[in-house]
Chain A
Amino acid sequence: MKKFLASALSLAMLVSLLAGCGGGGGGSQGSTSGSGTPSTSGTTTGNVIKIGVFEPFTGDSASGGKKEYLGMQYANYETPTVEIGGTEYTVELVPSDNGSSTDKALTAATQLVSEGVSMVLGSYGSGVSIAGGPTFGNAGIPAIGVTCTNPNVTAGNDYYFRICFLDPFQGTVLANFAKDKFDAQVAYCLGEAGNEYDQGLITFFEQAFTAAGGTVIKDAFPTNNSDFNSYLNKAKDQGADVIFTPVSIAYATQIISQAASLGIDAPFLGSDTLDDNMVLEAANGTDIQLYVSTFYQEGGDPDFDAGIKEYINTTEGALEDNGGNDTIAAVSAMGYDAYYVALEAIKAAGSADSAAIKAALWDVEYDGVSGHIAFDDTNGDAVRDTAYIKHSTNDGAWELETVQTVA
């Protein structure tokens, strides 16, 4: 009987496998002639221009990656075509899952390149962007980082651009905020061991915070840890005035809900990753003070807010991807802006050729919902000097606290 069941199972698998080969083979046929060398006319057959979406749809950062993609999907739904040299081109978003992991990032990036995309948007999470970057670079395809804030994403290469602020800036903003708002003397920093995003931000925070005369206690938890009670208790015992936790969403929800039951009254400072519905949900109905620095605050552009809310509520699966409600995540706004920056670059280049788009990107300027976007001349980083800091109202919403700039 076992054998029989298994054979039936393997048969079913074989079927789906073969089905896929048929499908996959056929699917790639459309882009065959041009993949790899997007400069040939191949990519634009049937007047389609492909934009790769390099995002985590599984793993630690899946929640953020899905929301970022949601912004792009909405933008694509709003403006599905672009005009290049007088001809109308349909923009096709080609998603690829980098699994929030630096070793899967490479093959996900190769997949996009072999699909013949003209440019790439993403990724949420700096590590995967750094890991996937060289693949785009070798293929001559420009990439626009949407919310990857680590300096190393764009440093030393000419193919990675980005539209968000950087961690040295973000760390300083938060350290200054801690000083100004709470007059904090002791900060407890908790990040995942071996995660460059967490540890990088903590280092920048520490630099700014100690420069302003504060003391920092740093701790790192191992990957897949879920018991934060002792860490939080330690922070309380050491008399931390603020707790800085620039961690991935899954850990953040865990930390916030455990802190709530421990009755931690020191305010929590979070980075852009904590600006997420899941985290908001964890803070809902508690006494936690949660402040996060982010790129966009709902209400910044009422038209955009209304539009994307409608899109989220009416599109199948979108509500689920957004975490079950229609609160707009800053990363969605950033994804939306990134899409339009990409269109601007394509228009400026006047072709679907990656090299031309790359050359045109340096001079692109765009007024997005998250503010004015322009790239600097050294690394292709966005020229941005403002971050929004908002706090959780603990009934399921964010409220704008302040708009912080660093001279």
Chain B
Amino acid sequence: MIQDQKSKKGAVTGLLFIAIVLLLVVLLENLSAILPAGSVPAVLMPTSQLFTVLKKGAVYSLVAVSMNLLNGFTGLFSLGQAGFMLLGAYTYAILTVPVSAKDTVYYLYGGSAVNFSLPDLFGGVDTPAGLILGVLLAILLGGCVAALFAYLIGLPVLRLKSDYLAIATLGFAEIIRAIFQWQPLGPVTNGANMITQIPTFNNFNITDANGTVILRLSTFFPFLIAIICIVVIVMLINSSYGRAFKAIREDEIAAEAMGINLAKHKMLSFCISSFFAGVGGALFAMFVNNAQAKVYTSTMTYEILLIVVIGGIGSISGSCLATFLYVACAEWWLRFLDSATTFASPTAPNRIAFMVIFAVVVIGGSALLIHRERRGSNQVWKQTLVGLVAILLLGWLAWFAATGELTLPLLRTGFRMVAFSIIIMVVVLFFRQGMLGDKEFSDILFARRRNAGKEATK
């Protein structure tokens, strides 16, 4: 009874939270139109990196959650996510290229073998019905195609265990990619060429008769789809199926002994995960304005896997949070690392800000380290080392403060990814549980544990 009430309360809170998020997204996106012109900060302009990050984050968080369902909740280590995204993306793209654009897009093949387009069936991309129905149907079909392939692949592969399953699904993703790159299939897949001119997120902006945007919904749309899908996944995880999945994760043999049909549940989890990966792929195609097989490599799967790990394997909100952080770091915040950064004028405010932040971080960090190492015995030399490094760094700073120009060393093309992979390694090695472990954000927020019986931290 109490449990029931609690979960009802949780659901209401959850819905409220989702509504607030969606509202905030719409507001954020349209703030540039509401605020008086001239006073809009650059970051809020519609062309800002912020919205690219938000859109990509929404798409990736759906894929990350779908991967978490499989890897984190069912304990099936699959590396086929990019392949299923590819299926979703291509299904979406093939079905939504406007009939009028087919000749341009499939120019090498003199038009497409698929001679209809879903949005056109409902009146074209320019009409609300055509756009919404056509795009939604295509996204849904993208998911279904991915799920269907997952079923076919799952029949032989799901019998395999951990690493073998991983490498087999990775192999399948490569095979799928090769099939889509095969030139003789060109009239359908457009061969090596990307499928362009598909409806994108920007089509969802509402414009007036002159073509001026009056309400921007281009970020809202991926958020809406991603949130709906994630809610479905969460509901699934909290259902009896979800409990069966977790039982399989904890101990397959015990789960089987308790009467859980292993093959059926594994297949179910695999297909559902692939369905949402397919939906994610369709959204990704919308995000990048095209579909091309070359993009959906194993590197993409690894990227998503790392997101799942950083967020915490078995935590939905962790995956979402990690996605946004990951995407923002990779695409936005760390981009400066790719070009030499120079603080030229000695009085520039950012230069002073940099020096203050640098000094605070060095002093604070080394103090923390020294304090932490104090507990161990025989650690004097380590403390001395930390102290020395800190003094060196501060000395470097002081030297630059004295000598005018400040150029950060090492920064050139490619450094961003090096720094980024080091951060990832640190997370993987030292924060093994990820950001949230297997807890949810709400658990931490309300300091209340939803599931009583989870001990399985090996």
Binding site for B on A (CB under 8 A): 2-4, 6-11, 13-29, 31-33, 35-37, 40, 57-58, 95, 97, 101-103, 105-107, 110-111, 113-114, 116, 127, 130-131, 134-135, 138-139, 151-152, 155-156, 193-196, 198-200, 203, 218, 220, 222-223
Contact = CB atoms under 8 A, between A and B. Distances in A.
21 contacts: A7-B430, A8-B389, A17-B423, A18-B357, A18-B361, A19-B354, A20-B336, A26-B350, A33-B38, A36-B32, A37-B45, A95-B339, A106-B52, A110-B52, A134-B289, A152-B104, A156-B101, A193-B192, A195-B294, A198-B192, A222-B178
B413 A57 contact: yes
Given A10-B426, A127-B292, 10 more contacts: A9-B426, A10-B423, A17-B423, A19-B354, A23-B350, A26-B350, A35-B48, A58-B414, A111-B335, A193-B178
Contact of A26 (B293, B335, B354, B422): B354
B293 A194 contact: yes
Contacts of B288: 102-103, 105-106, 131
B341 interface: yes
Contacts of B107: 151-152, 155
B48 A97 contact: no
A58 B49 CA distance: 21
Contacts, number: 205
B228 interface: no
B354 A107 contact: no
A107 B52 contact: yes
Contact of B42 (A4, A36, A194, A195): A36
A7 B295 contact: no
B294 A223 contact: yes
Contacts of B194: 102, 127, 130-131, 196
Q: Taking each of B202, B331, B373, B413, which has the highest tally of chain A beta carbons within 10 Å of its own beta carbon?
A: B413
B3 interface: no
Nearest to A105: B288
Interface string B163-203: 00000000000000110111100000001111011001010
B324 to A, nearest CB: 14
A8 B331 CA distance: 25
A24 B408 contact: no
Interface string B297-315: 1001000000000000000
A57 B337 CA distance: 14
Nearest to A16: B419
A35 B43 CA distance: 9
Contacts of A199: 108, 183, 191-193
Contacts of B293: 194
Interface string B389-402: 10001000000000
A232 B3 CA distance: 70
A35 B183 contact: no
Contacts of B14: none
Interface of B: 32, 38, 41-42, 45-49, 52, 56, 101, 104-105, 107-108, 177-178, 180-183, 191-194, 196-197, 200, 202, 287-290, 292-295, 297, 300, 331-339, 341, 343, 348-351, 353-354, 357-358, 361-362, 365-366, 369, 372-373, 382, 386, 389, 393, 408, 413-414, 417, 419, 422-423, 426, 429-430
Nearest first, the 8 closest Cβ-Cβ pairs linking A and B are A26-B350, A36-B45, A22-B354, A194-B181, A199-B192, A36-B47, A24-B336, A32-B42
A111 B49 contact: yes
B350 A103 contact: no
B369 A4 contact: yes
B358 A19 contact: yes
Contacts of A222: 178
Q: Taking each of B181, B193, B334, which has the highest tally of chain A beta carbons within 10 Å of its own beta carbon?
A: B193
Contacts of A15: 358, 361-362, 365, 393
A220 B183 contact: yes
Contact of A194 (B177, B331, B349, B373): B177
A18 B426 CA distance: 17
A152 B193 contact: yes
A92 B39 CA distance: 25
A20 B419 CA distance: 12
Given A19-B357, A131-B194, A222-B178, A7 B369 contact: yes
A40 B40 CA distance: 13
Given A17-B334, A22-B353, A7 B372 contact: yes
A193 B108 contact: no
A8 B365 CA distance: 9
A27 B341 contact: yes
A6 B192 contact: no
Contact of A13 (B46, B191, B192, B423): B423
A268 B40 CA distance: 57
B105 to A, nearest CB: 8
A130 B47 contact: no
A114 B333 contact: no
A34 to B, nearest CB: 8
Contact of B45 (A35, A97, A111): A35
A335 B163 CA distance: 48
Contacts of A10: 423, 426, 430
A357 to B, nearest CB: 17
Contacts of A29: 350
Nearest to A156: B104
Contact of B335 (A6, A7, A24, A218): A24
A24 to B, nearest CB: 4
Contact of B47 (A21, A35, A155, A195): A35
Contacts of B104: 152, 155-156
B413 A130 contact: no
Contacts of B339: 95
Contacts of A155: 104, 107
A306 B104 CA distance: 43
Contact of A58 (B105, B369, B413, B423): B413
Given A29-B350, A138-B202, A21 B178 contact: no
A110 B47 contact: yes
B250 to A, nearest CB: 29
Nearest to B101: A156
Contacts of B294: 101-102, 127, 194-195, 223
Given A114-B49, A139-B47, A106 B287 contact: yes
Contact of A22 (B191, B197, B300, B350): B350
B273 to A, nearest CB: 21
A24 B333 contact: yes
Contacts of B386: 8
Contact of A4 (B292, B334, B373, B426): B373
A114 B48 contact: yes
A31 B42 contact: yes
Contacts of B191: 199
A363 B180 CA distance: 41
Contacts of B41: 32
Contact of A27 (B202, B287, B336, B417): B336
A130 B350 contact: no
A107 B50 CA distance: 10
B52 A4 contact: no
Contacts of B417: 58
B129 to A, nearest CB: 24
Q: Taking each of B42, B56, B389, which has the highest tally of chain A beta carbons within 10 Å of its own beta carbon?
A: B42
A18 B358 contact: yes
Contacts of A196: 192-194, 292
